[in-house]
Amino acid sequence: MRNNRGFGNALTPGYWNLFTRFLGFRHHTHTHIMHIAIIGAGLAGVSAAWYLSQTGHRVTVIERDAAPALETSYANGGQISISHPEPWANPGAPMQVLRWLGKKDAPLLFRWPAEAARIRWGLEFLRECLPGRTRQNTLAIAHLAAFSGQRLKALREETGIEYNQLSRGVLHMYFSPENLHHGEQQHKILQELGIGSRMLDRDACLELEPALAHLAPHLVGAMLGSDDESGDAQRFATELARCCREAGVEFVFDTSVASIEADGQRVSGLSLRSGNGEARLLQADAYVLAAGSYSPQLMRPHGERLAIYPVKGYSTTMELAQPDKAPTVSLTDESRRIVCSRFGNRLRIAGTAELNGYNLDLDLDRCSALLRWAEDMFPGACNTAEPNYWTGLRPTTPSNLPIIGRSRLANLFYNTGHGTLGWTLACGSAQALADIMNGQQPAVDYPFWKSR
């Protein structure tokens, strides 16, 4: 699947690129300028718009909502989680899923009856649980995540954007010896990969995060992902969209892409429908599909199946009643698969996975599981009388590897399927996509998508 056919090779002589890279020139001075239309203004679409516009392209982003990041990128867990490359599909997953069966507030719920797409996705997920596949997938995600972390830091320096970011790491908390053992194994893998991580005993945890004092009797240890960060992803996307606009990117909101028009070889345009019912065709030189969980539908008529399933997750965001009782280090509770991030005077608690199609109803059992977690962990810290519940659909592939690269249509590219790690991987994915579209080899070892 490795990309080796640069679309841009027809446009940009590869040797010239290598030569100019060697001399340290900015690439956009030599990139053939294209008009690029991006479908979707979530984290994936906005980041792609940024990196593509930075190499000189004219970019138009089409978004059906009224602003960026109002769907899955709206209220996620807020973690830049480089220290968690292990995908959901791993050798322990099938047994774990069986243990959770029938529990209403289980971290993972597979609702019945299941439609064909879900069954097929589930079978592919099982295949990805084989040890060899898990190892490969973990490696690929780790490479992309580490690259993405570097790109995010560089982007922040370049643009100066603020989004309640904290660079205090992510603390993976273990409340049982089995979880601690698993954490130690993960720590070894991270060390081999050169990703920052440290095992902490109880005292070291409390020193790092005094708000955990209340939990001390139950905590058996933790791993700190020291390269990790946290922040408000929606704010990030909104701020980055503002920078994009200042750089000349055009955003077309309240407008849906009804279909991708193509002749079997190339896209000839996007059929748009605006909020007031007006229809028109938008034509560009190249196109990027970044429509999250809704990407497969747009490709189905063109004979390419994208194995992306909408895996529903929940979050609650609360104002703080007593800020000193709330953590500032971003946390992961490994036993309950819940994450928690501090955004100024707010605390976000997120988690749970539900396979139930495109349904966006709030299930109260799952909402109250998050609220209970906040009350148990940090009593009195949050204003629990006013929880802001939210649910979003993670665009998840069976391997959790995002689909980045060229589609079967010559001028259409993918930046989609980012699953559980869409923010962690956003900058790296978009930078790699821009490199591919500019006919350059991305500086990251990753199995980029190349249509068969």
Binding site for ligand FAD (CB under 6 A): 39-45, 62-65, 69-73, 76-79, 81, 256-257, 290-292, 294, 313-315, 339, 350, 392, 394-395, 416, 418-424
Question: Are 416 and 338 a contacting pair, CB within 8 Å?
Answer: no
CA 177 to chain centre: 30
Contacts 24+ apart (CB under 8 A), 179-183: 179/220, 179/334, 179/335, 180/220, 180/221, 182/92, 182/334, 183/221, 183/222, 183/223, 183/334
Q: Which is nearer to ligand FAD, 100 or 389 (CB)?
A: 389
| Four-residue CA torsion sign, 26, 29, 31, 35 | positive
Q: Are strands 250-252 and 58-62 parallel, antiparallel or unpaired?
A: parallel
In angstroms, what is the minimal distance from the CB of 41 to ligand FAD? 5
- Please list the residues that pair with 309 across neighbouring strands: 396
SS3 content of the chain, % helix, strand, coil (to 5): 35, 25, 40
In whole angstroms, how close is the CB of 25 to ligand FAD at the nearest point? 31
How many other CB atoms are there within 10 angstroms of residue 101's CB atom?
10
- Give the shortest CB-30-to-ligand FAD separation in angstroms: 29
**Closest CB to ligand FAD among residues 272, 326:** 272
In the complex with ligand FAD, the residue whose CB is nearer, 27 or 346, is 346
Between strands 449-450 and 279-282, the pairing is unpaired
Rounded Cα gap, residues 163 and 305, in angstroms: 35
CB of 426 vs ligand FAD, minimal distance in Å: 7
Least distance (Å) from ligand FAD to the CB of residue 145? 9
Taking the C-alpha atoms of residue 193 and residue 215, their distance in angstroms, rounded to an integer, is: 31
- Minimal distance, residue 170 CB to ligand FAD, in Å: 9
Residue type, 148: S
Listed residue (351, 344, 352, 346) closest to 386, CA to CA: 346
3-class SS of residue 23: helix
- Measure the CA–CA gap between 391 and 389, rounded to whole angstroms: 7
Cβ closer to ligand FAD: 9 or 274?
A: 274
CB of 330 to ligand FAD, least distance (A): 8
What distance lies between CA 374 and its chain's CA centroid?
Answer: 24
Q: How far is CA 451 from the centre of its chain?
A: 22
Instruction: In whole angstroms, give the CA distance from residue 107 to residue 351.
Output: 7
Least separation, in Å, of the C-beta of 64 and ligand FAD? 4
Q: Euclidean distance between the first and final Cα of the chain, in Å? A: 8
CB of 417 to ligand FAD, least distance (A): 8
